[in-house]
Amino acid sequence: MVRKLLSWLGGLFVLALCASAVFALVVVKDRIRLVVQLDQTAAGPDPAALLRDDVAMLQRDLGELRTALGGNFERLGTALEERAETRHAAAQQEVQQLARAVASLQQGQDGLQAVSARLLAKADAIERDVAGVAATVARSAAAAAADAAAIPSPLAEPPKPAEPQPVAVPPVEAAPAPVPATATPGSQPAAKKGSFLSFSVPTAKFEFDQPHDYVLVPELCRVGFDAKSTLHDFTGVTSKVKGQFHADFDDPSGAWTGEVECEAKTLVTGVDGRDTSMQEHLDTAQHPQIRFAIGKFEPGAVDAAKQMADGTIVGTMTIRGQTRDVRMPVKISVDASRRVVVEGQMPLKISDYGVPVPSQLGGTITMQDEVSVWIALRARITTGATK
């Protein structure tokens, strides 16, 4: 009985389970569909389809790009070709201009050669003319001499018998002989032009044993005197010197001329009070210049090779308006700048020139009457000066 009951209960339980399952299926059927639909949406379209679509789009873009690039390349090529043609044309023009310039230069060279040839021809003609004139003059002189011999002179002195004239005049020829290249008497050779670095300057050689005109270089000149006094010795000196001279160091006759002068008031001794006193004694207000006039030069030893000489300059010295004859032994040399250096010294009594001998404190302090006058001069050749 129990077994039957349990069988019935089991059967009922199974039925209940089935019924519950059916009921649950009915209840949740829609939700289950909804979940399935959402999953399909999230998965998206078919990747293969998308890939095909992308490939198709890329093919289209590639086609468009190829089209666009092809046009641009064509335009770029065209532009490059145009530019190359322009450059080519410009280069051709430049070449043509250069060719014209070269042709012009060649023409100029030809013209210069022609001018040069004409000038040479003219020079030859002038030489022939000069030779002809010289011959004519010589012939005329000979004829005049012959006439003078034939016609008696109106002067009281009886005419001398005409001496036979040597036949020194060459016969005039149709083609005269060339004139020698010597300059005419009295003319000076033109200064040649040389170069120093980039300069074109007259070439001048310093010839120690030749006469020249010289001018002092004030910046490089000093004159002065050495004096002795009771207390101490001192030097008066000035650089305010100017002058010029004509000299020939090798000339035994010593025919020099020239003058050197200095500003008396510019003499300084290093002590202001003494300078003032010196100017008063020299009376610089009335006699501002101290002047040395060169009369002649008595040469001693002269070494032209070493460009050195010594001797005595004879001249006159003018101080405070008084002029006296003086003789100054000098040494002469030449420095690296081809300037003549003249150094000399001589004793001189200031009282001879009317200069009061300075004395202080009633004669307690006195200066010696005799001073030693000296010169230290540099002079350069006057360029272009005549000998």
Q: Does 240 bind other proteins (CB under 8 A)?
A: no
Reduced to 3 states (helix: H, G, I; strand: E, B; else coil), residue 227 is strand
In the complex, the smallest distance separating the C-beta of residue 239 from other proteins, rounded to whole angstroms, is 7
Which CA distances in Å does 151 have to 155, 160, 315, 334, 338?
12, 11, 54, 61, 60
Reduced to 3 states (helix: H, G, I; strand: E, B; else coil), residue 147 is helix
Torsion sign (Cα): 313, 316, 318, 319: positive
Question: In the set 326, 339, 355, 371, which binds other proteins (CB under 8 A)?
Answer: 339
| Opening angle at CA 153, ends 150 and 158, nearest 5 | 100
Lookup: tokens for 225: 């005197």
Kindly report the length of the chain: 387
242 closest CA partner among 265, 262, 266, 267: 262
Q: Does 210 bind other proteins (CB under 8 A)?
A: no
* C-alpha to C-alpha distance for 322 and 356, rounded to whole angstroms: 13
Q: Does 108 bind other proteins (CB under 8 A)?
A: no
CB-wise, 131 or 332, nearer to other proteins?
Answer: 332
CB within 8 Å of 27: residues ≥ 6 apart: none
Question: In the set 33, 338, 349, 387, which binds other proteins (CB under 8 A)?
Answer: 338
Strand-pair partners of 218: none
Q: Does 364 bind other proteins (CB under 8 A)?
A: yes
- Only segment of 34-42, 154-162, 165-173, 333-341 that touches other proteins (CB under 8 A): 333-341
The distance from CA 46 to its chain's CA centroid, rounded to whole angstroms, is: 93
In the complex, the smallest distance separating the C-beta of residue 190 from other proteins, rounded to whole angstroms, is 11
In the complex, the smallest distance separating the C-beta of residue 106 from other proteins, rounded to whole angstroms, is 23
Question: In the set 3, 29, 160, 205, which binds other proteins (CB under 8 A)?
Answer: 205
Q: Does 304 bind other proteins (CB under 8 A)?
A: no
Q: CB of 244 within 8 A of CB of 259?
A: yes
Interaction residues for other proteins, span 140-199 (CB under 8 A): 191, 194, 196-199
- Only segment of 24-32, 92-100, 227-235, 305-313 that touches other proteins (CB under 8 A): 227-235
Interface with other proteins: number of residues (CB under 8 A)? 50
Binding site for other proteins (CB under 8 A): 191, 194, 196-206, 215, 219-222, 224, 226, 230-235, 237, 239, 269-271, 336-339, 341, 343, 345, 361, 364-365, 374, 376, 378, 380-385
